[in-house]
Amino acid sequence: MNRWGALLVWELRQFAGNPVAWIVLGLLAAAMAWGACSGASLHRAQSQALAVESQADAAWLASVKERAQQYTRPSAEPLPYWQDPGDVAGFSRYFLRRHAFKPHLPLSPLAVGVSDLQPSRVPVKLETLFGIAPVYDFEPPRVLMSGRFDLGFVIAFVMPVAIVLLIGLLTTFERDRGMLRLVAAQPISPRRWLGIRVCSIAAWLLLVIALMLGGALWLAGVDPAAAPVELASAMALVLVYALFWVALSFAVVAAWPTAAGALGTLAAIWILLCLCVPLLGSAIVLGTVRAPSALYRIDALRRVTDAVEAERQAVLAAAFAGRADLAPHAGQIGRLDYATRQTFLVPERERRLAAQQHAVLNVKETRERATTLLGFVSPSLGVQSALATLAGTDMQRHRRFEKQVRDFQLHLRDFFFSRIQQQIVAPTPRPPGSYSRQNFSEFDAIAHFRFQDASAASRATAVLPVTLWLLALSVGLVGIAARRLRRWPADL
């Protein structure tokens, strides 16, 4: 072994015997374990709610079918349509219960992302405008306000603090104690001396962080075989992010500051990158990509609903006149029940609100694109978003879910609206003396929602730019450190 190798081994042993380093890493490991388990606990509860809801939907449908069967008995007084599951219009409005579920991915404990804000369980109703009702699963507002102590938070915010603390302390010992002049008197360049020390710290840190990440996910119950691609990408991303903070710290300590100076500067950089950039970015995005308050949508919805209701006769008459099969039955317009009327009025409401909906979606997408771009300026933001992408708790996956919910709703509308409107053209004869209307019995033909997820490869590809960007930054910062370390400090 040459003398540089011997120095590296000595430095590695020094780190291994440093109690402060292990206290810091121990606390970080505990934080990672808690974060992963906390995220897993939230997602377990949500998955359980999905399973219970699915069972409740099935039980409801079974009870509805049973009632429909019971109501086939003869009766002197017919059942009101809103109490009759055998009436297609009544069923569609008062009995149809379908939910769309967004199941969690195997690696979900990696980051809570937006899973505590956005619903993973959405009721699909035919009259909901644009498919998505503004529903959510209630989470304690205090927890939402302070933010989750999840693995994503620990990796993005706490891990950098541990890294800068260790490098800031362990590389400035000689400087603080006035021993640097003794080191400088040895036949070794400053670049090699500090470089080997930082390399030894980095080697330990990367190894321990990889083990801690794996251990935390294992504790949270993640099956590595269930998401190998995402897991490998997450490991690479976290290690590159750790490397970035090591390289940044290296560039700072390469200026030979004291521990106080190094930690002060690194703390300022941490605040700048992790807090100030998102804060300023948020202010700029909100200021430039403006949207009217979401509350104005209430006003628009009420105005359009009132207007459509006021023009109801005209809207229905136009809808009947526009269809060859309905036109001869225009005389029935005044006798249509509420649910049947809605099959014509809901699309009209959506048509009138489409421009506003389009504008809202545009603003959301622009703001989300800006967030992605800012992730390249604030590594913590970029890493949190990337971890959420790999965990399947990101906003893009939720948008995909919303889009599929809308498609599913349109499919259900096709199924029911055609059958309801067919009753205008050719009503099923009511069985003589029947309690129920009996024009609908296809309960088992109603479709179920199945979420089509993006592939694991596409998730891994989505986080590749951030990973490569952090790697490039790390290389650049190491270059800056190497340039600074051409000579020993003048004030030895």
Partner 1 sequence: MNWRLLLLEFTLLRRERRVWWSLVALALLVVGACLVTAQEQIRGSAAKADIAAAERQRWLGQGVKDPHSAAHYSIYALKTSPALSLLDPGVDPYVGQAVWLEAHHQNDGLYRTQDEAPVLQREGLANPAALLISIAPLFAFLLAFRAVALERERGTLRLALGVGTAPLRLIALKATACVGVLVLLLIVPVGLLGAAFCVREGTFSTDTTLRLALWCMAMTVYFVIVVMIGMIVAARITHGRAALATLFGLWTVLVLALPRWASDAVAVSWPLPSTQSVQQALQERAPAYWSAEQGASQHAALLARHGVQRKEDLPVDLRGAELDMAERHSHDVFDEVLGGFYDQVSEQDLVHSLLGWISPAIAMQSLSPALVGSDFAHHREFIDTAERYRRDLVNRMNAAVMKPVASAGAAQPAGDAALWSQVPEFRHSRPALWTAPTALPALVTWLVAGVLLLAVTLRRLRP
Question: Does residue 307 bind partner 1 (CB under 8 A)?
Answer: no
Q: Tell whether residue 65 is a contact of partner 1 (CB under 8 A).
A: no
SS (H, E, C) the chain: CCHHHHHHHHHHHHHHCCHHHHHHHHHHHHHHHHHHHHHHHHHHHHHHHHHHHHHHHHHHHHHHHHHHHHCCCECCCCCCHHHCCCCHHHHHHHHCCEEEECCCCCCHHHCCCCCCCCCCEEEECCCCHHHCCCCCCCCCHHHHHHCCCCHHHHHHHHHHHHHHHHHHHHCCHHHHCCCHHHHHCCCCCHHHHHHHHHHHHHHHHHHHHHHHHHHHHHHCCCCHHHCHHHHHHHHHHHHHHHHHHHHHHHHHHCCCCCHHHHHHHHHHHHHHHHHHHHHHHHHHHHHHCCCCCCCHHHHHHHHHHHHHHHCHHHHHHHHHHCCCCCHHHHHHHHHCCHHHHHHHHHHHHHHHHHHHHHHHHHHHHHHHHHHHHHCCCCHHHHHHHHHHHHHCCCHHHHHHHHHHHHHHHHHHHHHHHHHHHHHHHCCCCCCCCECCCCCCCCHHHCCCCCCCCCCHHHHHHHHHHHHHHHHHHHHHHHHHHHHHCCCCCCCC
Q: Which is nearer to partner 1, 146 or 452 (CB)?
A: 146
Site for partner 1 in 154-213 (CB under 8 A): 157-158, 161-162, 165, 169, 172-173, 176
Residue with Cβ nearer partner 1 (24 or 184):
24
* Binding to partner 1 in span 68-97, by CB under 8 A: 71, 79-80, 82-83, 94
> Is residue 313 a contact residue for partner 1 (CB under 8 A)?
no
What character string, x for contact with partner 1 (CB under 8 A) and - otherwise, covers 373-402?
A: -x-----xx--xx--x------x-------
User: Considering only residues 285, 304, 424, 481, which one is a binding residue for partner 1 as defined by CB under 8 A?
Assistant: 285
Q: Is 216 in the site for partner 1 (CB under 8 A)?
A: no
Write down the least CB distance from residue 321 to partner 1, Å.
Answer: 27
Per CB under 8 A, does 260 bind partner 1?
yes
**406 forms part of the interface with partner 1 (CB under 8 A):** no
Out of 56, 321, 327, 472, name the contact with partner 1 by CB under 8 A: 56
Q: For partner 1, how many residues bind (rule: CB under 8 A)?
A: 95
Interface with partner 1 in residues 332-361 (CB under 8 A): 360
Q: Using the rule CB under 8 A, is 367 a contact of partner 1?
A: yes
Kindly tell me which residue out of 24, 183, 219, 236 binds partner 1, with binding defined by CB under 8 A: 24
Cβ-based nearer residue to partner 1, 223 or 306: 306
- Considering the complex, state which of residue 148 and residue 419 has its C-beta at the smaller distance from partner 1: 148
